[in-house]
Amino acid sequence: MQSSFPTQALPSTAAPGAEPTFISGAPALPNPSTILPSNYPAMDKPPPVDSAEVQQWKQEVANSGISIPDIEPNNQGGCANNTAAAADSSRCWWSCSGCTAEKDIVECPDPLSWGLTYDDGPGFYTSNLLQYLDEKDLKSTFFVVGSRAIQFPAILQAQYMGEHQIAVHTWSHQPLTTQTNDEIIAELGWSKKVIKDILGVTPNMMRPPFGDIDNRVRAISLAMGLTPVIWTRTSPTSTFDTDDFNIHNGATPVQKVLQNWQNILSSASTLDHGFIVLEHDLFEESVEVATGYILPDALAHNPPFKIQPVVSCLGRSLGDAYIETNNNSTNPPPNASSTGTSSSATDGKTTAISDAGRLYPLDIQTLATTTLIVGSGFAFGLFAALRL
């Protein structure tokens, strides 16, 4: 791909053994050169479920005391291809109803507080975003795909040492409601592991790819010490999703993304609470829109937004974003007595949220040379994952 937006140098790099002084009790930074792809599952493919690591994580889930609902995995194809599941309110399937559970994080408590988030990286252009955030003294939450962490460990360390929050976005970016229990455990477990191997700390928040979460996925996530974070939804058809991901594949023009942002901006200004927006740092176009339009526009807003990582917008310290440094007395980790199953939908109805054109590549290195072929919401060839 011919770039019109040259990649920038990282705003800062840290030597192995550097101390993250901004988090009390955080271990020294590991040496990224010790991260060998051969020690991990194949990139961008669902990890095998028969490894010793997955067996250990399965036992930890069983020992957590958190009950996993007996819900069959969904078919690929989203709400339209799973009509019975979509209509079953007991599943609390966010993709089709906007249903959220007690522990889901979908907004910031304080008005005008923005939980800034970026998904799917680190990538080739994450350094450009980091440079801009550093210049403007902004901090964000990055939901990291494990396969990308293997590919860009130095960038992940720069994100962490730049005092941004790091959170889990699975290993290979699968729609989790279509996966078996063991497959979900493998997706989350390997992402947690590689992040800890690179940073020395383990995130305690996750975002399901595509927002694809139901009560089974929630329970497994919580049993693995991961609290789900989605994004704000104000009506059956209105979510705080810029759709910036789809600029790259041509499914959404830049003008539409900018209009989406203006709609978010108008709605956010009227809320009696804060908000969380879905954006991405994997593709050049998404980063250009963020740094060239969305963030400058947000910084100029009057009254001003308080732009911060999700953990900060919840009134917690950055240390509370990681299992090793979390203050368990003030921010108790999930357990069997704290994972209530009560849920609510925006309007009590089952309403599909259509993102049929959203696709995730199996190999980031093919992005520059592979032409996307889309028909009726499905992708062919290498692009087989339907964005719900």
Instruction: Please tell me whether the overall predicted TM-score, pTM, comes out greater than 0.95 for this model.
Output: no
Q: For residue 31, is it within any domain?
A: no
Q: What is the pLDDT of residue 360?
A: 45
Q: Answer with the residue of higher pLDDT: 238 or 109.
A: 109
Any idea which residues carry the catalytic annotation? 119, 280
Half-sphere exposure of residue 237: CA atoms within 13 angstroms, side-chain side: 0
Give me the pLDDT at residue 228, please.
98
Task: Note if the bond before 228 is cis, omega within 30 degrees.
Answer: no
Q: With 80 as the cut, is the pLDDT of residue 138 above it?
A: yes
Please report, for the domain that includes residue 185, its CATH number: 3.20.20.370
Classify residue 63: in a domain, yes or no.
Answer: yes
CA distances, 67 to each of 57, 74, 185 (Å): 15, 19, 14
Residue 114 inside a domain? The answer is yes
Q: Percent of the chain, pLDDT > 70? A: 83
Q: Are 356 and 387 in contact (CB under 8 A)?
A: yes
What domain count does the chain have?
1
Q: Who has greater pLDDT, 383 or 306? A: 306
Q: What's the token pair of residue 165?
A: 């929050």
Which pLDDT score is estimated for 14?
Answer: 75
Q: For residue 84, tell me if it sits in a domain.
A: yes
Q: How high is the pLDDT of residue 235? A: 85
Spatial distance between the Cα atoms of 388 and 374, rounded to a whole number of angstroms: 14
Q: Is residue 175 part of a domain?
A: yes
DSSP-assigned letters across all residues of 241-307: B--GGGGTTTSS-HHHHHHHHHHHHHHHTT-SS-EEEB-B-SSHHHHHHIIIIIHHHHHT-SSPPEE
Task: List, in order, residues 6 or more apart from 278 with CB less than 8 Å away.
Answer: 117, 119, 211, 231, 239, 240, 241, 242
Structure tokens at 134: 């550093």
Residue 285, Cβ density class (10 Å: 0-12 exposed, 13-18 middle, ≥19 buried): buried
Q: Does residue 372 belong to any structural domain of this protein?
A: no
Window from 103-107, 193-197, 322-326, 340-344 with minimum mean pLDDT: 340-344
Within a domain: 58: yes
pLDDT category of residue 337 using cuts at 50, 70 and 90: low
Question: In whole numbers, what is the pLDDT of the chain averaged over residues?
Answer: 87
The answer as to whether 33 is a domain residue is: no
Q: Which domain holds residue 259?
A: 50-341+350-355
Q: Average pLDDT, stretch 166-175?
A: 98
Q: Give the model confidence (pLDDT) of 64-114 as tens digits.
A: 999 999 999 999 999 999 999 999 999 999 999 999 999 999 999 999 999
Residue 5: its pLDDT value, please?
54
**Cβ distance 202 to 195 under 8 Å?**
yes
**Number of Cβ atoms within 10 Å of the Cβ of 38:** 4
Calpha distance 84→80 (Å, rounded): 9
pLDDT of 26: 96
